[in-house]
Amino acid sequence: MKKRMFIFLGLLLFSTRISYSEEERSNFTNKVKEYVIENVGDFELANELYGYIKYYAKEYSVEEELIVSVIKVESNYDVVAVSQVGAIGLMQLMPKTAEYLGVEAEYIPENIKGGVKYLKECLSKNGEDIALALAAYNAGLGAVKKYSSIPPYRETQKYIEKVLKEYNKLKKEKYVLKDGNGIIIQKKITNAYCFTCNSHGSNYSLGSCNDILRYTETDG
């Protein structure tokens, strides 16, 4: 009888220990690291890359979620990527930008360091506004300064949308693109920040969207 009782208690304890809620299970995983592994494919390389990302995220006080999202859109985690205009590596640094940042863009750790350092500069010079920082990373700090907003470049606007789409996968608070009529053109919205634009896409502003559910979502 005692033996049966011990077995029963053991099974009860075991079943209790493995019956974690989804929220509890998420605490035991690193979503950002899993995201990197999923995109890289090679576990050892992904682990190495995440180590650099984590280190420089802390060094420059930039969100890991934002860094990995930028890398996804810039190079799709191709460590030897070179663009048609000569941008290099994971974070697609131009040679002149790499020189300005004091890094060797061809080397993986230096590429990540330079990209995160530049992303931090873009954030700092734009009031920590993520949308403006991404615009600056893509189009240059000068372009954002010239328009005092996100430049009216379709490439830059699409770039921001793509990065925020990845960023939203990793964050509870999401960024949402909203057009000039107040129509959300991104799905699966929770608590969010919105940036709005006019019909020509040349005038953006960023603000909190506490009443976001009253807007109409589309399939865009």
Query: 208 - beta bridge partners?
Result: 193
Euclidean distance between CA atoms 193 and 195, whole angstroms: 7
d(CA 32, CA 171): 10
Catalytic residue among 65, 74, 110, 166: 74
Query: DSSP class of residue 220?
Result: -
3-state secondary structure of 57: helix
| 36, 148, 159, 180 from 134: Cα distances, Å | 20, 14, 8, 20
Q: And the tokens for 41?
A: 């494919």
Residue 195, both tokens = 């940036």
Q: Is 48 a catalytic residue?
A: no
Q: What size, in residues, is the chain? A: 220
Q: Which residues are catalytic?
A: 74
